Amino acid sequence: MSEGLFLSPHRQYRETLAPQEGETSFQVVVEQSDLRITAERDISAEILPYLQEIRGQLKAYILLHPEFRASLVPVEVPDGVPDLVSDMARAAKVCGVGPFAAVAGAVAQAVADRFVGLSPNLLVENGGDIFLHSTRQRVVSFLSDPKSKARLGCLIPPEEFPVSFCASSGRIGPSLSLGVGDLVAVRAATGSLADAAATALGNVLHSPRDLRRVTGLAEELAVHGVQGVFAQFDDKIAVWGRIELTVIE
């Protein structure tokens, strides 16, 4: 495990990601939502107002219900709230965490689902949390130390999309984690669930002995749509579910 927290705002891992033939990558940023998007053409002009819209809805809800932003435990929401709010609340309830544990994954999926009609290959990455629509095979890399290159990844064949991968770390980035593990990456059917589950599982990872507990809890969440988990603590890893590991050269 690397010493100390890695809190640099520079997303160095993006420098190693190259779009495939016939694709392009671009960035869309609205306040804390910093999206790196890969698509068949640059559709940033279409995405920007939509991202502003859903962020505005979320901010308006938080203004009236500040506990939705601050709580570390699930929060009930009424019917009729914005879709982003209900998705986050639902995933948080399943995983036993606060709603904002699901925000990055929920935003990534909202954007991907909204614009997949303009680009059947559409990969939306939001601070390491991603939602993917794809017609071709992809590899999602697991980066446990941002100072070095990713060595392992998950191979995903075309028939298994759409899918989300979200990660939590006690060592990387500014997001709150109650654990101290290098990485917990969750594969799930929805972005909000993958994000909330990554936080919940990352919270219990305090030593290599907890790796078995992480995979056991992930298996319990399978009924809700969690499909797999990759966890790392120092030089020990644990894998459960639909995680086809591949070496990244």
pLDDT tens per residue across span 34-56 = 999 999 999 999 999 999 999 99
CATH of the domain at 109: 3.10.520.10
Residue 132 placed within a domain: yes
Strand partners, 236: 233
Residue 176: CB atoms within 10 Å: 15
Residue 8 placed within a domain: no
**What pLDDT sits at residue 244?**
97
- Dihedral of the CA atoms 154, 112, 25, 21 (nearest 10)? 60
Residue 66 placed within a domain: yes
Judge whether residue 152 has pLDDT over 90.
no
* Structural domain for 118, as ranges: 21-247
Tokens of 19: 């779009």
Residue 82 placed within a domain: yes
**What pLDDT sits at residue 169?**
85
Unique residue bearing structure tokens 């036993």 = 96
Residue 10 placed within a domain: no
**What pLDDT sits at residue 128?**
86
pTM, entire model: 0.89
Residue 243 placed within a domain: yes
Residue 172 placed within a domain: yes
What is the pLDDT of the chain when averaged over all its residues?
A: 89
Is residue 199 a contact partner of residue 101, using CB atoms and an 8 Å limit? yes
Residue 154 and residue 107: Cα distance in Å, rounded?
Answer: 22
Confidence of residue 214 (pLDDT cuts 50, 70, 90): very high
Number of structural domains (the chain) is 1
Residue in 60, 69, 51, 169 with CA at minimum distance from that of residue 109: 51
